Amino acid sequence: MKPADSVRRNPGPEWGCDFLLWAERVWPSWIFRPALKIGAWVALLGMPAARDHSRDYLRVALGRPPRHFELWSHFFAYTEVLLLKLRAGRGAAIRCVLEPTQAAAFETLVRSGRPALFGTFHFGSSDLLGYLLGEHGRRVSILRLKMGNSTDTRLLGERFGRNVSFLWVNDPTHLLFALKAALDAGESLALKCDRLEFSSKTEPFHFLGARRLFPFTIYHLALLFDRPVVFCLARSGSPDELRITASPVFTPDAALSRAANLAAARTHFQAVLNQLDTLVRQHPLLWFNFLPLNPVVPPAASADRTPADRTSAASRVAVAS
């Protein structure tokens, strides 16, 4: 696992999120909404690196250079999702509506109580799904990068702390043992599988018109610990409602070889990314990966992967802040 800085900070002032919660409660909407929009303009102007990555991504997703208003809309969409997370952490009830496709298989898995690996991406309000799983009585460990001023994570942890815990990736050595302990204890894991920053176990898959590198560790963990894998994506419907799209469930087959299971896992993940690709193109402003887009891999660079042992694979975890 690649080393992480011990302490990082989200952009913005220390009191920013607390101020948002206060203003949302006290100010009328005709003042609060314009203030949010102004704040998105300030972020757009004050975060040149994120703005450049947003522009590069939107150029691919839209198939043309984005307009300045579209760049601002990308930042504003993230502001609205951040506010929803803050409101959920404060105690607002969030209603989840499953899209019909794959709903039955997902609900069966969630209600079964069987420990599972729940994957997602930096899309829409998907960050909330790990916490909402705790409301089903599941013990869920969420892999996160600990930030010095992450008010939304703190509030959500306090609200859902009875069934939700965090595995911080800032200390890779400690994470290795914490991860294995959580899996051995029968807990479910919730992790994001798009950013490469903290993952050395990657493979190329087709996404947004090219073969791009993605973390693949979730499937190695599935084989090592005999856990099913399912991916979920969430976007806002009506206020305080999430519309959730679930993937088919991947379950390792003990009757198959490791190579055959990994081949099935690659097929499953490509189908997941096809689903994500469709949603990203339908809702390009809801992809919140304000970092360089996953790098393109030439076909000749796609070599066979060497199987890893239990310890080394468990240490290469796909996570994100």
Q: What's the rounded mean pLDDT across residues 37-61?
A: 95
Position 148 scores a pLDDT of 67
Helices (H) and strands (E) in the chain, counts: 11, 9
Position 289 scores a pLDDT of 84
Position 302 scores a pLDDT of 55
Torsion of CA 55, 60, 63, 69, to 10 degrees: -20
What are the phi and psi torsion angles at 99 (to 5°)?
A: -65, 145
Reading the block at residue 244, the tokens are 């959730």
- Is pLDDT of 84 > 60? yes
Query: Which of the pair, 57 or 5, is modelled with greater confidence?
Result: 57
Position 216 scores a pLDDT of 94
pLDDT digits (tens, 9 = 90+) for 191-242: 999 988 766 688 999 999 999 999 998 999 999 999 999 999 999 877 788 8
Tell if the pTM clears 0.75, that is, is over it: yes
pLDDT digits (tens, 9 = 90+) for 103-135: 888 888 988 878 999 999 999 999 888 888 877
CB 102 within 8 A of CB 229: no
Query: Which of the pair, 304 or 65, is modelled with greater confidence?
Result: 65
Find the range with the poorest average confidence among 20-24, 60-64, 71-75, 152-156.
152-156
12 φ/ψ sector (left φ>0, alpha ψ -120 to 50, else beta):
left
3-state DSSP helix/strand/coil percent for the chain, to nearest 5? 50, 15, 35
**Structural domain boundaries in the chain:** 94-314
